[in-house]
Structure formats: C-alpha cells, structure tokens
C-alpha cells in the first residue's frame, strides 16, 4: 500500500471534481496539480537579477549593468551547455514568478504593489535589451510563464516579449505542431482523464463555453481538439456540429471571432487524418463551394469571407492557400472580381515563399509530418489515387474534372490516361457533358476536347502541354504498331487542338514541315521533371509519323475547324498581341487555307467559298454561345474574325471589279442571301411557336453580321469594271420577307453606293428607284426613316461646292453649275418636307454639328452668301412651315453685313453690296408674311438688326 487512503465513490464528489477541473482549466492553473499520483522534481538552475531590479536603485539599469547581465548569462549558459536565449528566458520567468509572489502570511492581491511595479519595470527593461541583442527566446519565455502562471500578466506586459503568446497569428502558423502526435504526453494524459469524467457532448459544451466567453490559450484548445477527435469516435460529428454553429454565427452577425475559431478548429481536426476527420479541402469545399454555402446570402457576406481569407495570407501555410486557389468559393459572375483579387494576393504570397501551385498534389496530405514532397513523387501518388477512386466508384475524380487543378506535374499521367481511355472507348461508358435536361452523352474523348478549350493564355498553355504529352506518349508507346493502330489510339480532337495551338503560338510550325525520323523521341522531352514545352512541341511537329497522321482526313484541321477555334479565343486575354494575331490571320487565310484544296480542308482558291464557310461557322458559333443574349435581342459577333471577314468581302468586291470570275456571280445570287435562305428554309416556315423563335434567333444573328459590313457589298452585280448593272432580286426578297423582323439601317444607302460602281450611276439610280417602287416599296418607306440624313449631307456638300466656286475669281460658269446643283438638292428636300435650316445653325448644339469638323472656319463664316444666293428657290410655304426660318434669315443677314463691315467679302467673286441689298429686300418682303409665332424667338436678333440698319444709314 502506498499509504494513501482511497476514498469511496460518491456522486456528489464526482460533481465537485468536475467543477474543480473546469475551474482549473479556465484559470490556466498548473495542470500538474491535477495529478496527485505524479511526483516530479524540477531542477531549476537560474541566474537572479535581484540586485539589478532593486527598488532602491535609481532609474533603469545602466549600460554597465546590462553588459554584466549579458556576460553572466553567457558564462552560465556555457557551463550548463544550453543556448543563452533559453537561459535568459528561464531566468526572467523565474524572477517574474518571485516578484509576483505575495509576502508570507498575506493574501494574494490581484494588482501589484508600487514596489513590485518598479521591479517589474526594471526586469522588463533588461529582458527587452536581451531581446534586442538576440539573446532572448520569446517562445521559451512564454512556455515558462505559462508553467508558473504569474498573476502580473493580467495587469501589464511588454508587447515585444509576448507578441507570439497565444495569439491567433501564432495559432495559424504553429497549429501543425499542436497535433496529437506532437503534443506532450503529460498533457494528452490529462485530456484523456477529462474525457473519462465528462461525456463527449459535455466536453464540446465546455469547449464552446470557453471559446465564446474567455480569452484562450490556443495551444491548449487546439491540442485538446486533436486529442478529442483521435480518442473519441463520437467527436467527429460533434466537432462538425460545432463548426456549423460557429460558421452560422459568423455570417449572421459578421463575427470575426467565430470565423477565426471555426477555421482553426477545422484545420486542427483535419491534421489528424481522414480516418478521424474530413480533410480541410473537403470541409472548405462543402462550406463555400456550392450555392448553399455560408457566404452565398449577400455581397456583404462575400466581402466578409474574402477579407478574412486575405488577412490570413501573410501567416498561413502555403498548403492552405493552394486549397483556396484550387477549390475556390463559388461566386456569382458579377462579384468574381472579389475572388480574383484574393487569388492574385495568394499567388503573390506563394511566389514570395518560392512555392508554386504546381508543387501541390491533387491529393496532398496536409497532416503529413513530411515538410516537402518532391513534385514527381506527389504526381505519382496523385495518379495512383485517381486510379483508385476510378476503380472504386467508376467515376472520374472531381479533382480531375476541375480543369483549374491540372498543373505541370499532372500532365497528368493524365495525358497517358486519355490515350488509353480512347484506345478502350468502346468499353468505357459514355459521358453526359452539361447539366441541362437536353445534354447528350458522348464518348470519353469528347470530355478531353471540352476540357481543352483554347480561350485564354492559361488554357492555351494547358492545351499545348496536354496534347503534346498525349501524342508523344502514343508515338512512343505504340511505335512498333501499324499506322492504323496509332490512328485508333489518338483522339482526333487532340490532334486538331495541337495543330491550332502550335500554328498560332510557334512561327516555326508555319509552312512546310522539315520531317525528321525519331532522332530525339518526343516522349523523352516531356517525361522529365522540368519540361521545355516549346522544344517538345517542335520536336513532335518534325516527327515523320506525326506529319503522316496530319494527312488523315479525320485529323485534318480544316478551315472551318480553324475558324471555330479562333472564334472561341478571348481577345483581351489572348496569347498573341493584336499585331501578332492579325499577322497570323493573314497567313492562315491567304497562305494556308485559301489556296489549299477542299480535300485537304481548304477553299480551292475560291475567296467567295471562303466567305461562305466563314459566315456559316460564324452563325453556328453565335447561336451556340449567345443563347441568353438571343432572347434579349442582343447578339455579339466574334469581332476579330468579323474584321477578317470585312477584309475578305472588300477583296471579293475588288476581284469582281477587276473582272475575275470568283464563284457564281449571276446564277445563285449573292452568297450571303443564299446562306440565309438555305438556313431559314431548314428552320421551317414559322407555323409553330418553336419555329418562329428559332427563325427569330437566326435573323438576330444575321443582323449582327450584316451591320458590320458596308451596305453595298450586299448587292450583286452583272458584268465587270464599268460595264456593270445591279442585280437586286435577292436583296429585294430579303428585305420584303425578313426586314419586318430585323431593322437593318440604311438599305437604300447600300443601293445608292452600289450604283456608284456602274458606268452611268444616275441612270442606274432611276432604274433602281423604279424597281423599288414596283418590287420593294418598303425600302422607300424606310428611306423616310433612315436615309433622310443622306440628302441633308448632300445639300451641305453642295453648299461647300458653291462657296468654293465663289472663292475662285472669274469662274462664273462654275458658280452657276454649283448653284444649279444646290437648287436641285434643295428642291428634293423641299419636296419631301425635310428641314434643312439646321445647316445654317451649326454653332448651336445638335446632330448636324458634326459638319463643323468637315469644313474650314472660312467656309462656315461664308454660309450667309450661300443662303442668300438661294432665296429665289425657297418654297413659298417655308415661312409658315418652319417657325425658325425668320430667325435664320435675319441671323444670316446680320452675319452677311458683318462680313462686309469686316472686309471679308473681298475674297468673294460675288458683288457683296448687291447681295446685301437683295437680302434686305427679301426680308422686308417676307417679314409681313410671317406668322406671329415666328417673332417669339428673334427679340435678340431684331435688336442686332436695328443696330446694323442704323450703322448702314450713317454710312
């Protein structure tokens, strides 16, 4: 017997023991007191600072005193064989313990006496000096202080000494060291004895109470969590429930403390491995990776989340930032900038730490004690894990399905997997790509093609790596097999993708390839740890077997394929600059596909055929990617390819002008309308609602293409050169049948522009006007809406021509001709009741103010000469029809007189005094005939008019 009398079990004693244990934990008392059976003796070898912190000494310790402390510490540390920093920390803690003890027989006070405070100040000053000299270990000091539990810490402390003590930053950085395996056995024994006393639910309740009501020591809390999930089977679900409670509380009241606590506990529990708690990556995805995530309630919640994650970045381990990047929170498109800002910040931090995303595996174990795993070793583990998941579930792992996770170290084994899946595609179940009810199933090869969409710089990089690796692997793996076996193993989509990316990215691949035998096997270039992907791609491109594959029809990158891939590229995030892209387009069209035979995927040298294929591809692309916009009537065409199309149709017009026969000019009508007519016939006649919607979608796409082209290119012509006439049947048919659904501005402008290419434009215009009146009267109606500005513009330029003739001396015949032209155009405007007075009010704001940029200041100032040269042609009803006419007429007269007074009329070949007299008589004759409403807006002008008349009378 040990001599200790064992007490009998009593329920009330157990209750008191529970309360005492909780009290001791909350008060941070010495945990050794709980183990009465343990008898430990601690040998304290310390150096006392009592002489230096004597309250009778004046001021703080001097330089000599501090030097003495340093030398003494170094001597003692040398004798004891321990670092100086640890010895100084223990010594300071021991002095602190002695300083804070109450005198014998007196009650322990919460606050220090004046004498104790003076000693504490001197002690902290010495410790601060040691810290600045690099002779003080803050972590050891915190450990020693925690052991002795000195009360003075409740009153005052030095920030420099306690910066790492129990703070959140310390917990974020060091919680891996507080796992169950690394926690002191004495402490884990204490925890397990508490687990015997309390039920798991009571433990979680006490833990929650402590977390929500007290400042905690994170090392004790998190090591307790680790011990709990390892030792108690029920703890996993209880911790999950606690995390859910904390997260709900955090996002309901935007409580940062609850958020911090939840993340620390989730990470701590996950450190113990997937057998006892879900991995941190899975918890993060469940919490934030779906529409029901805690952050999905509002923009404020999103800001709260990303502000918290951003604040963690300077302190947390790289593995956690990688998880946040590779498995980001689900964010609505309009708030995606918040996510991208965080990802940029995290990637910058990883770069500072010299850590790359590629170094992380898809299935990296964050609880592993190994600090770094070599990338190729991690990649091997990822491949084995992915295969294991596929074998067990029959599903491709989500981490592979998410393209953002695919990095250099996975090119993923994954390329080889794609080859073997394609080889055995008849045994692999078909995949459903998409989540809609109408999504169709496809071969597994379609998955890879969908995954490798070339839209951005990053996707281009991934595509070339994946395709080069897959094809190189095939050529190596099946090098001894026949050509047919090679064709069966390789997905056609990968061959086309690698052609598109290589031709676009590497100039060396354009033109005839210099074929080589397998001198340097391509697989050797991609199977090493560090891959030069350009070298690997060019090596593959030169392989004779690869070039032979490109001759197979199924592997050809046709003109239509190239256009479709090119339309998917986002211009603002392209791998090429604007100049490089334009150069590539020119080469691809005029050197690669236009002269190539149609058997090889080209256009047989037929530019109109090239235009037809481009239009068909553009319509298909727009219908596929603009489904949402189509219902709003807002369709976007791929601008970069559209600009290429504009060049092509203008080149086609020049070809026709030169008389070369490019395609069927007369028999089939204009190629644009042939395409539209064929596609609309395939849709149906619109007898059902579905057909009408499809027809409307098609027409909206046609409009988006047509508005980007000059109107004249839509009109077919007969003949060549000047011996041409217009062929408008297709144009009229399209306007009559379809223009009621889509509004194409200025169709008549296209007709007039096309007339200019004929030998006798005026005759052709008369023929066209007659044909419009007979076959397509809607165009004349549209002219009232869209082409009125054309006549106003024509009148302005005829006025400029008249003034130009006035500035040429002794050119009366030319002036008369110019005056006749102005009169003719003015007559057309008057006949159609089109207002033209705005041309003489250009200094006022309005839509015609643009004409100020088309003429010199002198011509604008001389407009009064043109105005009063045309008075004989003014309509009699003009005074009543145009309320502003009297105002304009008076204003023009005043400016005419001002020009005369200023001497600017000397450059005009017209008699200025005669024109002024003519103008004055016109006004005197017209004013009595004007309605009263015409005078309401000329008060200022009439005062100026009276002033000018009086000046004239005096002269």
Query: Structure pTM?
Result: 0.51
Q: What is the pLDDT of residue 63?
A: 56
Determine whether 616 is exposed, middle or buried from the number of CB atoms within 10 Å of its CB (0-12, 13-18, 19+): middle
Element (H, E) at 725: strand 723-727
CA angle 750, 754, 757 (to 5 degrees): 160
The answer to whether 472 touches 540, Cβ cutoff 8 Å, is yes
What's the Cα-to-Cα distance from 615 to each of 84, 473, 608, 674, 676, rounded to whole Å? 81, 38, 11, 11, 9
The answer to whether 783 touches 751, Cβ cutoff 8 Å, is no
Q: What is the pLDDT of residue 628?
A: 47
Give per-residue pLDDT as tens, 585-617: 999 999 999 999 999 999 999 999 999 999 999
Give me the mean pLDDT over the 79-95 stretch.
Answer: 80
Give me the mean pLDDT over the 254-265 stretch.
Answer: 93
Give per-residue pLDDT as tens, 473-527: 888 888 788 888 888 778 888 899 999 999 999 999 987 666 565 545 566 666 6
Give me the mean pLDDT over the 124-143 stretch.
Answer: 79
Give per-residue pLDDT as tens, 399-414: 565 554 555 666 767 7
CA distance 907 to 376: 87
Q: What is the pLDDT of residue 933?
A: 74
The answer to whether 331 touches 353, Cβ cutoff 8 Å, is no
CA distance 747 to 173: 70
Residue 908 has pLDDT above 50, yes or no: yes
Give per-residue pLDDT as tens, 277-321: 999 999 999 999 888 888 877 889 999 999 999 989 988 899 899
CA distance 869 to 823: 10
Q: Tokens at residue 754, please?
A: 């096309």
Structure confidence at residue 955 as a pLDDT band (50, 70, 90): low
Q: What is the dihedral of CA 462, 467, 472, 475, to 10 degrees?
A: 170
CA distance 289 to 328: 7
Give per-residue pLDDT as tens, 615-638: 999 888 888 776 545 544 445 566
Q: What is the pLDDT of residue 662?
A: 44
Q: What is the dihedral of CA 669, 670, 673, 679, to 10 degrees?
A: 80
The answer to whether 91 touches 72, Cβ cutoff 8 Å, is no
The answer to whether 607 touches 655, Cβ cutoff 8 Å, is yes
Give me the mean pLDDT over the 535-557 stretch.
Answer: 89
Q: At what angle do helices 747-755 and 788-806 cross, to 10 degrees?
A: 40
Radius of gyration of the chain measured on its C-alpha atoms = 44
Q: What is the pLDDT of residue 504?
A: 93
Q: Detail the DSSP E strand segments found in 420-503.
A: 431-432, 441-442
Determine whether 233 is exposed, middle or buried from the number of CB atoms within 10 Å of its CB (0-12, 13-18, 19+): exposed
Cβ contacts of 884-888, under 8 Å, gap ≥ 24: 884/837, 884/841, 884/937, 885/837, 885/930, 885/934, 886/926, 886/927, 886/930, 886/934, 886/935, 886/938, 887/934, 887/937, 887/938, 887/941, 888/837, 888/840, 888/841
Q: Where are the domains of the chain?
A: 48-55+64-102+111-156, 164-277, 279-359, 378-557, 788-950
> Mean pLDDT across the chain, nearest whole number?
76
Residue 665 has pLDDT above 70, yes or no: no
CA distance 420 to 424: 6
Quick one: DSSP state of residue 279? -
Query: Which spans in 807-869 are helix H?
Result: 812-831, 857-861, 863-869
Percent of the chain beyond pLDDT 70?
A: 66
| Length of the chain counted residue by residue | 955
Quick one: DSSP state of residue 740? T
């Amino acid at each position: 017997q040990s001599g200790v009398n064992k007490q009998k079990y009593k329920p009330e004693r157990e209750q008191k023991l529970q309360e005492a244990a909780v009290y001791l934990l909350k008060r941070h008392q010495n945990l050794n007191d709980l183990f009465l059976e343990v008898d430990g003796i601690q040998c304290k070898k310390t150096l006392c600072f009592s002489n230096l912190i004597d309250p009778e000494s004046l001021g703080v310790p001097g330089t000599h005193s501090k030097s003495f402390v340093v030398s003494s510490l170094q001597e003692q540390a040398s004798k004891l064989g321990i670092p100086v920093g640890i010895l100084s920390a223990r010594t300071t803690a021991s002095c602190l313990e002695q300083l804070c003890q109450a005198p014998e027989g007196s009650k322990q006070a919460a606050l220090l006496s004046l004498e104790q405070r003076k000693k504490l100040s001197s002690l902290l000053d010495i410790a601060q000096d040691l810290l600045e000299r690099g002779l003080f270990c803050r972590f050891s000091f915190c450990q020693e202080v925690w052991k002795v539990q000195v009360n003075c810490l409740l009153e005052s402390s030095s920030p420099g000494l306690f910066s790492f003590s129990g703070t959140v930053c310390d917990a974020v950085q060091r919680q891996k060291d507080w796992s169950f395996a690394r926690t002191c056995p004495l402490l884990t024994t204490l925890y397990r004895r508490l687990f015997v006393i309390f039920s798991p639910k009571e433990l979680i309740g006490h833990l929650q109470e402590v977390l929500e009501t007290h400042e905690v020591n994170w090392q004790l809390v998190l090591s307790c969590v680790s011990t709990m999930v390892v030792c108690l089977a029920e703890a996993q679900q209880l911790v999950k429930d606690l995390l859910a409670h904390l997260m709900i509380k955090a996002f309901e009241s935007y409580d940062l403390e609850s958020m911090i606590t939840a993340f620390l506990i989730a990470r701590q529990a996950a450190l113990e491995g997937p057998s006892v708690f879900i991995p941190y990556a899975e918890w993060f995805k469940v919490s934030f990776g779906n529409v029901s995530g805690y952050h999905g309630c509002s923009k404020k919640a999103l800001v709260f989340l990303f502000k918290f994650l951003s604040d963690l970045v300077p302190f947390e381990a790289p593995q956690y930032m990688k998880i946040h990047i590779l498995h980001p929170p689900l964010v609505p498109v309009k708030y995606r900038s918040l996510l991208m800002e965080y990802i940029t910040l995290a990637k910058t931090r990883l770069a500072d730490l010299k850590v790359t995303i590629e170094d992380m595996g898809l299935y990296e174990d964050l609880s592993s004690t190994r600090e770094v795993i070599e990338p190729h070793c991690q990649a091997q583990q990822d491949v084995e894990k992915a295969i294991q998941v596929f074998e067990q579930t029959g599903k491709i792992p989500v981490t592979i399905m998410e393209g953002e996770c695919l990095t250099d170290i996975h090119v993923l084994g994954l390329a080889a997997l794609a080859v073997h899946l394609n080889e055995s595609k008849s045994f692999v179940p078909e995949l459903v790509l998409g989540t809609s009810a109408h999504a169709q199933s496809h071969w597994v090869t379609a998955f890879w093609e969908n995954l490798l969409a070339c839209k951005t710089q990053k996707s281009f990089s991934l595509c070339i790596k994946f395709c080069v690796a897959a094809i190189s692997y095939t050529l190596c793996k099946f090098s001894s097999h026949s050509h047919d076996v090679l064709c069966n193993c390789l997905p056609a989509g990968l061959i086309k993708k690698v052609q598109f990316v290589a031709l676009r990215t590497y100039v060396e691949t354009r033109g005839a390839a210099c074929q080589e035998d397998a001198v340097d096997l391509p697989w050797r270039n991609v199977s090493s740890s560090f891959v030069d992907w350009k070298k690997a791609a060019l090596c593959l491109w030169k392989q004779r077997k690869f070039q032979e594959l490109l001759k197979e029809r199924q592997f050809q990158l046709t003109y239509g394929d190239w256009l479709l891939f090119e339309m998917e590229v986002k211009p603002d995030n392209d791998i090429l600059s604007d100049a490089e892209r334009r150069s590539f387009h020119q080469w691809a069209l005029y050197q690669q596909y236009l002269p190539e035979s149609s058997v090889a995927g080209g256009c047989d040298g037929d530019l109109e055929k090239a235009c037809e294929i481009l239009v068909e591809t553009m319509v298909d692309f727009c219908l596929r990617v603009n489904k949402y916009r189509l219902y709003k009537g807002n369709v976007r065409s791929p601008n970069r390819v559209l600009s290429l199309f504009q060049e092509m149709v203008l080149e086609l017009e020049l070809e026709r002008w030169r008389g070369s026969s490019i395609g069927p000019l007369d028999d089939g009508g204009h190629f644009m309308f042939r395409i539209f007519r064929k596609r609309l016939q395939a849709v149906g006649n619109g007898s059902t609602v579905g057909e009408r919607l499809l027809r409307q979608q098609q027409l909206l796409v046609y409009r988006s293409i047509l508005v980007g082209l000059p109107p004249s290119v839509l009109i077919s012509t007969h003949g060549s050169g000047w011996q041409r006439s217009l062929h408008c049947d297709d144009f009229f048919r399209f306007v009559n049948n379809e223009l009621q659904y889509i509004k194409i501005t200025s169709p008549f402008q296209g007709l007039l522009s096309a007339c200019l290419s004929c030998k006798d434009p005026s005759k052709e215009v008369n023929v066209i006007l007659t044909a419009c009146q007979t076959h397509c009267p809607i165009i004349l109606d549209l002219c009232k809406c869209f082409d009125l500005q054309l006549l106003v513009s024509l009148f302005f330029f005829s006025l400029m021509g008249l003034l130009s003739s006035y500035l040429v001396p002794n050119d009366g015949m030319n002036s008369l001709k110019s005056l006749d032209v102005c009169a003719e155009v003015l007559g057309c405007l008057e006949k159609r009741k089109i207002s033209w007075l705005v041309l003489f009010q250009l200094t006022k704001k309005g839509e015609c103010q643009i004409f100020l940029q088309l003429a010199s200041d002198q011509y604008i100032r001389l407009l009064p000469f043109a105005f009063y040269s045309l008075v004989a042609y003014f309509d009699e009803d003009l005074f009543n029809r145009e309320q502003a006419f009297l105002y304009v007429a008076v204003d023009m007269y005043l400016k005419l007189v001002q020009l005369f007074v200023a001497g600017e009329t000397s450059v005009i070949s017209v008699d200025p005094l005669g024109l002024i007299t003519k103008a004055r008589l016109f006004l005197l004759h017209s004013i009595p005939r004007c309605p009263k409403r015409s005078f309401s807006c000329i008060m200022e002008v009439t005062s100026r008019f009276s002033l000018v008349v009086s000046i004239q009378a005096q002269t």
